[in-house]
Amino acid sequence: MMRVRPGYMSSFRCLADRCTDSCCIGWEIDIDEETLAYYESMSGAIGNKLRENIEKQKDSAYFKLTKKERCPFLNAQNLCEIILELGEDHICQICTDHPRYYDWMASRMEEGIGLACEEAARLILDSPMALESEGEEEKEGSKQELLRERYLLAVRDEILERISKATDYKELEQKLVQEVSKMQIAYKSWCEKHELAYEGPAKASILLRSYKELIKRYKELEINQPKWRKLLEEMEEDPKLFRDILYEKNENVQSGYRHLLYYFVYRYFMQARYDDDLVGKLRLALYSIRMMEAQDAYIVSQKGRLTKWERICNYKLYSQEIEYCEDNVIAIADML
């Protein structure tokens, strides 16, 4: 099976106790069936502690978080007691995977690391925009599935190449917005020519809203962390929230937005094979970058400058709120 991933993925190492924002705090940690059976069979003190801290429901099980919303197995040094006592092979699947994501296609498997993790965010911003692959392509799906996949991969790879070669983010954004309708129509015609089902959208456009209008729309989405709601409210009230000021004072942000766009297009564009909505995938990518820009602009407005660390914190907060909530991802892709 061909395996594709961003070149930086092999450099990823969890920061563990050096992480300022452990993914074992504030998130419900689901326990997969196999791991649950293992934990239930454990004897001794660790077995008792495991069983005492698992909440079982009809079809699922998860760890009961402490009052401070910490995983009960995260020790005072922010290290995982299960790894320390039982080894890395005995943590739940979700803990093994996070922050990695996987997409199994008919011809290949693609993987990456998610922006919600601060070390992943740093690598996404700092590393070359390039993919690497190993293994041979497979043909596991139907002929139609493989045909569609090949077409969409070609479109996506062309977009990725343009992102990696562009120098001006604003120009790139404008061009993509102008071309999406043509891209969707070309795909529809191609489906018809090859007698493939087409369920794509009737309307194919992307509206580049002002920061304020976009914030208003984001406030209507599902909000998980109070700090995200507070930030959106403060940003909405800020009279100095302007893109020009952000770009003038921070030349390097443009390159950062290209890296983020590359990440979003790589991660989400191929989901169009399920709904034929190419424009929706680009909408999700472009609106996301614009919203993260607004977060950066807010820091510049408040402090008169923007550090790399503040940018990383902005992007991971965005990702935690949006990417880790499927309803929000769908709502942004559909946001007309």
Per CB under 6 A, residues contacting ligand SF4 are: 14-15, 19, 21-23, 98-99, 117-119
183 near 276, Cβ under 8 Å? no
- Give me the residues paired with residue 25 across strands: 70
Which residue in 101, 119, 29, 9 sits closest to 69, CA to CA? Answer: 29
H or E stretch at 336: none
Nearer to ligand SF4, 23 or 306 (CB): 23
CB of residue 71 to ligand SF4, shortest distance in Å: 11
Nearer to ligand SF4, 22 or 328 (CB): 22
Nearer to ligand SF4, 82 or 270 (CB): 82
Q: Which two tokens mark 235?
A: 């940003």
CB of residue 51 to ligand SF4, shortest distance in Å: 25
Nearer to ligand SF4, 28 or 334 (CB): 28
Which residue in 152, 140, 130 sits closest to 109, CA to CA? Answer: 140
Q: Which residues contact 181 (CB under 8 A, 6 or more apart)?
A: 204, 205, 279
CB of residue 70 to ligand SF4, shortest distance in Å: 12
Nearer to ligand SF4, 246 or 312 (CB): 312
CB of residue 325 to ligand SF4, shortest distance in Å: 17
278 near 183, Cβ under 8 Å? yes
CB of residue 99 to ligand SF4, shortest distance in Å: 5
Q: Which long-range contacts (CB under 8 A, 24 or more apart) does 34-40 make?
A: 34/93, 35/90, 35/91, 35/92, 35/93, 36/61, 38/90
Nearer to ligand SF4, 119 or 321 (CB): 119
CB of residue 210 to ligand SF4, shortest distance in Å: 32
